[in-house]
């Protein structure tokens, strides 16, 4: 046995407003049929004006902390049996502001005191990167208990006239709590595989707003403040890189694909999930999919899929779980764990 980071809490949050495919079809040249057959998406949640990434991150974080408290239980005098969180890592590509990071504000609003907190930017792979970062800090002894959040509000950076991206992306946040434990416990993160390829940086991008092309002062070239994606090559790379990353992690962990109970892949497109399943030789029942209800929620996608799979009884304690993600950068990453027994608990706030 060795020191490991152990997953011990899970939460998520979606904005109230639901935008159906039919509603999109009233505004754009698209249809429910096209979106469902080409992506598997039926609806997505979208923030209200003024609602930001940190708002969703705080709600998801509060739920994950409540779940960790309920999972740990209470002492005879009613006191919580959990140590305070001493690290917050937030994966997002839609921070509240370009500077400073959004994580310190989230930590402050959750009442977590002066803990170290920072953002991780790896677009749709952000949650896996953040998980690996927090887990490494725990195994290195730098942190004892971490809140890891994936939160994005892509509706705030989409071109209102772009039928492709508006059909795919939705807003949301998902979160987990990690604690120090040992590698033999259920919930222990057993390994990671991470990678990137910057030669594909232009395939998924927001061109303006950074140091290469400021939008202030002076206007950005028309439309360059919006998110753009070259769908076809992204599709191909997503299948290839998630499959390769999953395969190499499975070899390292010593599992074969048939022994994995649930693969929770980044929820980009049902055809991508099925193609990854085919590459790995998986059966349909091994693949978790919630994108019909939420679309592609970027950094929130994997933890929200975990939350929905637990809520629906599809993901059970003892299941061998493979997480795999792919996103802008290009970036990809996978993680493996045996699913622990978790309680859902009521948030204090
Ligand atoms: N409604 C109707 N038609 C649409 C449409 C929409 N919402 N979006 C695109 N189309 C059209 C295109 O304009 C194109 O029309 P054309 O043939 O007249 O030029 C046609 O559908 C086919 O476009 P194509 O891009 O080849 O479709 P596709 O089958 O590859 O599906 C995506 C497009 C974006 C759904 C698909 O490429 C995809 O899922 N890519 C990966 C996206 C992703 O996962 N991104 C995040 C990664 S982290």
Q: What distance in Å separates the CA atoms of residue 85 and residue 176, rounded to the nearest whole number?
A: 12
What per-residue confidence (pLDDT) applies to 84? Answer: 86
Residues of the chain within CATH 3.40.47.10 domain(s) are: 3-182, 189-338
What per-residue confidence (pLDDT) applies to 218? Answer: 61
What per-residue confidence (pLDDT) applies to 291? Answer: 96
Dist. CA 231 → ligand 1 center (Å): 6
* Ligand 1 atom with the shortest distance to the CA of 298: 48
Asked if residue 97 has pLDDT above 90, the reply is yes
Nearest CA to ligand 1 atom 11: 164
Q: What distance in Å separates the CA atoms of residue 198 and residue 205, rounded to the nearest whole number?
A: 12
Which helix (H) or strand (E) segment is 280 a member of?
helix 270-280
What per-residue confidence (pLDDT) applies to 63? Answer: 97
Q: What distance in Å separates the CA atoms of residue 320 and residue 318, rounded to the nearest whole number?
A: 6
What per-residue confidence (pLDDT) applies to 217? Answer: 59
Dist. CA 208 → ligand 1 center (Å): 23
What per-residue confidence (pLDDT) applies to 82? Answer: 73
pLDDT digits (tens, 9 = 90+) for 203-261: 999 998 888 887 765 655 677 889 999 999 999 999 999 999 999 999 999 999 999 99
Asked if residue 349 has pLDDT above 50, the reply is no
Q: Are 44 and 301 in contact (CB under 8 A)?
A: no
For residue 235 and ligand 1, the question of a CB distance below 6 A is answered with yes
pLDDT higher at 170 or 74: 170
For residue 306 and ligand 1, the question of a CB distance below 6 A is answered with no
Dist. CA 292 → ligand 1 center (Å): 16
What is the arithmetic mean of pLDDT over 196-208?
Answer: 96
CATH numeric code, 189-338: 3.40.47.10
What per-residue confidence (pLDDT) applies to 222? Answer: 72
What are the CA-CA distances from residue 8 to residues 112, 181, 209 (Å)? Answer: 17, 10, 38
Q: Are 264 and 288 in contact (CB under 8 A)?
A: yes
Q: What is the mean pLDDT of the chain?
A: 94
> If 0-12 CB within 10 Å is exposed, 13-18 middle and 19+ buried, where does residue 114 land?
exposed
Asked if residue 81 has pLDDT above 90, the reply is no
Q: What distance in Å separates the CA atoms of residue 333 and residue 234, rounded to the nearest whole number?
A: 15
For residue 274 and ligand 1, the question of a CB distance below 6 A is answered with no
Length of the chain: 349
Asked if residue 279 has pLDDT above 60, the reply is yes
Asked if residue 146 has pLDDT above 70, the reply is yes
What is the arithmetic mean of pLDDT over 311-333?
Answer: 97
Dist. CA 198 → ligand 1 center (Å): 23
pLDDT digits (tens, 9 = 90+) for 152-162: 999 999 999 99
For residue 232 and ligand 1, the question of a CB distance below 6 A is answered with yes
Asked if residue 75 has pLDDT above 90, the reply is no
Q: What distance in Å separates the CA atoms of residue 301 and residue 41, rounded to the nearest whole number?
A: 13
What is the arithmetic mean of pLDDT over 176-180?
Answer: 98
pTM higher than 0.75? yes
Q: What tokens appear for 215 in the block?
A: 């939008």
Asked if residue 151 has pLDDT above 50, the reply is yes
Domain 3-182 architecture? 3-Layer(aba) Sandwich (3.40)
For residue 276 and ligand 1, the question of a CB distance below 6 A is answered with no
């Amino acid at each position: 046995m060795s020191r490991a980071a152990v997953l011990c809490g899970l939460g998520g949050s979606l904005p109230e407003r639901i935008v159906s495919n039919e509603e999109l079809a009233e505004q754009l040249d698209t249809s429910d049929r096209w979106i469902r057959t080409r992506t598997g998406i039926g609806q997505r949640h979208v923030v209200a004006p003024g609602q930001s990434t940190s708002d969703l991150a705080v709600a998801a974080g509060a739920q994950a902390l409540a779940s960790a408290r309920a999972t740990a239980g209470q002492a005879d005098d009613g006191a919580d049996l959990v140590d305070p969180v001493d690290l917050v890592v937030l994966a997002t590509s839609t921070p509240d502001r370009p500077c400073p990071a959004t994580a310190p504000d989230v930590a402050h609003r959750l009442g977590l005191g002066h803990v170290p907190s920072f953002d991780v930017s790896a677009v749709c792979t952000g949650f896996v990167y953040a998980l690996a970062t927090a887990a490494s800090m725990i195994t290195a002894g730098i942190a004892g208990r971490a809140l890891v959040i994936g939160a994005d509000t892509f509706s705030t950076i989409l071109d209102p006239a772009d039928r492709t991206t508006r059909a795919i992306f939705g807003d949301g946040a998902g979160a987990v709590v990690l604690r120090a434990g040992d590698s033999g416990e259920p919930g222990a993160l057993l390994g990671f595989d991470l990678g990137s390829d910057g030669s594909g940086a232009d395939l998924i991008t927001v061109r303006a707003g950074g140091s290469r092309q400021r939008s202030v002062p002076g206007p950005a070239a028309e439309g360059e403040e919006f998110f753009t994606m070259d769908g076809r090559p992204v599709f191909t790379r997503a299948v290839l890189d998630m499959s390769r990353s999953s395969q190499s992690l499975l070899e390292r962990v010593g599992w074969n694909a048939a022994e994995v109970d649930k693969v929770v892949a980044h929820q980009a497109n049902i055809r991508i999930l099925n193609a990854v399943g085919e590459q790995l030789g998986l059966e349909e029942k091994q693949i978790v999919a919630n994108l019909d209800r939420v679309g592609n929620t970027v950094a929130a996608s994997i933890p929200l899929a975990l939350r929905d799979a637990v809520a629906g009884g599809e993901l059970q304690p003892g299941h061998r779980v493979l997480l795999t993600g792919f996103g802008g950068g290009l970036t990809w990453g996978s993680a493996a764990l045996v699913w622990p027994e978790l309680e859902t608990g009521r948030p204090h706030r």
